[in-house]
Structure 1
Amino acid sequence: MDLRAILPLVPVLVALGETEHVTAAAEMLGMPQPNASRAIRTLERRLGVALVVREGRGVRLTDEARALLPAFRRALQTVEEGIDAVVGASASTVSLAFQTSLGERFIPEVISAVRRERPDIRFELHQGARSVLIDQLRAGRVAMALVVDMPAIGGDVDVVPLFEQPLVALVPDGHPLASRASVSVPDIADWPVVTLAPGFGLRDSLDALFARSERTPRIAFEGEDLITVRGLVTAGLGLAVMPEQPVVPADCVQVPIRSRLASRRMCAVTAGGEARAAVLLVRDTVVRVARERRIWAEG
């Protein structure tokens, strides 16, 4: 027997078992009464047994139909449970992308805050370069991206500003710039610079800082994480343009940069019209955590 020919008809018999009336069963299923009657006749033909006996204006289920009902009900319940598991998991899972610099403190704080309120929400986390994250958002592979809005993010997206961060020059102890009260972009250009690779938000900030200067940065190393950049500054390979930090790496000094461009704005970006409750809750939590902490040094 071809189960594929039987399965579409299972809900009709289950509904008829609840009502023992074809019209009421059709209304329960949201289908015309003739379609329900036809479905029962088709099911009888395919099973080779009678399922209903007419009694006055109604019908009575046969013993064969009543024997089938428990199995049919279990089958429908199993399908419904499977759908609920998949759809429920999808509805409460948020794919969150973030720049590498946010992974140390900000993202853990956000996840902890969400779980205190909604422990059922699950996260799919993606970390990487700003340009890659924006591409993932536009392709629908992530629901939200936490990135620097520099240059401005275009397209059909909603951008929520989170916080501004001053940029500083991170230099090793003993460096000629370490004793300065502040430095200019040309001052930085005189020295090798350790930074992140093109496409990362911090590299965008560095390039924007130099964009209006006649000087260009002397790149000594292009990495993919801030821990490596900080370590190489400590080792004396070069200086770095970094977000200001409350705790300065050992054997380093951070010096303010004299430029109105020496800052960056971190944003939460979602697709335009995003309406999923779990995504909006996470975005609200991101905004709240950012406001509570004001400025996150590693962001």
Structure 2
Amino acid sequence: MELRQLQYFVKVARKQHVTQAAEELHVAQSAVSRQIHMLEEELGVDLFVQKGRNLHLTSVGHLFLSRVEGILTDLERAVGEIHEFLDPEAGEIRIGFPHSLVINLLPAVVAAFKKNHPNVKFRLRQGTYTSLIRDVSRGEIDLAFISPFPKSHEHVTGEILLTEELYAIIPANHILADYTSIRLEQLKNEPFVMFSEEYTLRTIVMDACQKAGFVPKIEFEGEETDTIRGLVAAGMGVSLLPAMALLESGQTQPVKIRVTDPQVTRTVGLICRKDVKLPLVAEVFRRFLYDYFK
């Protein structure tokens, strides 16, 4: 059994398609198919079953995948530790983040860290709340910014870095545009522009509206803060966004207004895997972040 076979197997399992896996691996489709076939022959089982155009894992394939992913993650970590031992300042940090933090927060902290650690590399992965916890739990990334910070979790731990206020955003020609603050119930008859259901910002806004005594009428949904902000600025509705998502300037911007009743906030934290020692360079970055946000 070769390392290459395991790497090809994991890629096909994730993509559910040999052609797409081959494209990402930058090898011929026939090479991937051959290695998978040789792996199945060696194991004496079928790891995949064809369903339409896609390949789906068999039950034993799922079992094998969980083990192989752990092996490859441990191997990658071992190689990284050797590189760090030779030169800790030339290591790589694998970090995840939600889209709402990428505009200002992530570039700022990475730039500040690299002033004293110029040779450290960052491998960045954007994700949702659920996918970031999953990736940290699996060891696919070392650290992740996350919001809201999970109160407790079986596989991850960490610390809250900051608590951020959410503001109401409305079109510039709205009747409330000149207000410095509002009660959330003043928007109860307005159409809302919301994040789609897999995003925690949607849950935060929905809960706030419920506290204010109404269920928002959702007219549009989006997956990025830029989309939400742009639709509101264009007069398509109102919304709530974190302060960090409203720092950009430009000609087409909504009006932001503080919400006083109820005050709406979110926690932003940093998580890592429980009971697993971070790579040295990632641990240095973790400590830097805690000091940075103090």
TM over 0.5: yes
Q: How does 1:69-108 map to 2 (within 5 A)?
A: 87-88=82-83, 92-108=91-107
Q: Which residue identity is paired with 1:175?
A: H
- Residue in structure 2 matched with residue 258 of structure 1 by the alignment: 260
- Residue in structure 1 matched with residue 140 of structure 2 by the alignment: 141
Q: Which residue identity is paired with 1:286?
A: L
Does residue 120 (structure 1) correspond to residue 142 (structure 2)? The answer is no
CA distance in 1, matches of 2:233, 2:83: 48
CA distance in 1, matches of 2:260, 2:210: 15
List per-residue Cα deviations over 1:206-229 (Å, max 9, x = no partner): 123134344112112211111111
- Residue in structure 2 matched with residue 40 of structure 1 by the alignment: none
Question: CA distance change for structure 1 residues 176 and 210 in 2, over 3 Å: closer, same or farther?
Answer: same
Bigger Cα Rg: 1
Q: Secondary structure of the equivalent of 1:275?
A: coil
Shift of 1:100: 0.3
Question: CA distance change for structure 1 residues 138 and 236 in 2, over 3 Å: closer, same or farther?
Answer: same
> Taking structure 1 as the reference length, what is the TM-score of the superposition?
0.62
- Residue in structure 2 matched with residue 267 of structure 1 by the alignment: 269
Q: Secondary structure of the equivalent of 2:193?
A: strand
Does residue 129 (structure 1) correspond to residue 131 (structure 2)? The answer is no
- Residue in structure 2 matched with residue 170 of structure 1 by the alignment: 169
> Taking structure 2 as the reference length, what is the TM-score of the superposition?
0.63
Q: Is the 8 A contact 1:113 1:285 kept in 2?
A: no
Q: 2:289 aligns with which of 286, 294, 297?
A: 286
Shift of 1:136: 1.6
Moved more, 279-288 or 190-199: 279-288
List per-residue Cα deviations over 1:87-129 (Å, max 9, x = no partner): 4179822210001011122111222222222233221111122
Q: Is the 8 A contact 2:170 2:254 kept in 1?
A: yes
Question: CA distance change for structure 1 residues 136 and 214 in 2, over 3 Å: closer, same or farther?
Answer: same
Identity %: 22
Count of aligned pairs = 209
Q: Secondary structure of the equivalent of 1:115?
A: helix
Q: Which residue identity is paired with 2:140?
A: R
**Unmatched 5+ stretches in structure 2:** 1-77
Question: CA distance change for structure 1 residues 85 and 128 in 2, over 3 Å: closer, same or farther?
Answer: closer
Q: How does 1:12-23 map to 2 (within 5 A)?
A: none
Question: CA distance change for structure 1 residues 161 and 84 in 2, over 3 Å: closer, same or farther?
Answer: closer
RMSD in angstroms over aligned alpha carbons? 2.6
Shift of 1:259: 3.2
CA distance in 1, matches of 2:152, 2:121: 27
- Residue in structure 2 matched with residue 5 of structure 1 by the alignment: none
**Unmatched 5+ stretches in structure 1:** 1-82, 292-299
Question: CA distance change for structure 1 residues 89 and 124 in 2, over 3 Å: closer, same or farther?
Answer: farther
CA distance in 2, matches of 1:281, 1:85: 15
Question: CA distance change for structure 1 residues 87 and 151 in 2, over 3 Å: closer, same or farther?
Answer: closer
